[in-house]
Amino acid sequence: MDRNSDGDGDGVTVLEENGSFRLVASEGRYAVVETRGGRVYGVPSDETGGRDGAADDAEGVEAVARWTAEADARALLANLAARGDQLARDLR
């Protein structure tokens, strides 16, 4: 996977990371995925509703990503980051 390009080329590009979440792009499509233990998971869930995940590589991202518009994906990442920050504060 490429990192920090515009997401308009071939393959999957990681545009931004926040904790275990990544904003990814591929061919003008955008999604947020979660990575844990060498696996990648679709957010809010995989298309089939499962959370089995896939290998943490471009092919895995393509398999689980919930593709959407860039603005929607960025808003989802911001929301997840804010929730994670709030949880961290609550646990202190």
- The better pLDDT of the pair 84, 19 is held by 19
Write the burial class of residue 61 (CB in 10 Å: 0-12 exposed, 13-18 middle, 19+ buried): buried
Average pLDDT over residues 3-11: 59
Specify the DSSP element, H or E, that contains 89.
helix 70-91
User: What is the pLDDT of the chain when averaged over all its residues?
Assistant: 83
The per-residue pLDDT for 52 is 75
Cα separation, 11 vs 2, in Å, equals 8
Residue 82: pLDDT band (50, 70, 90) is confident
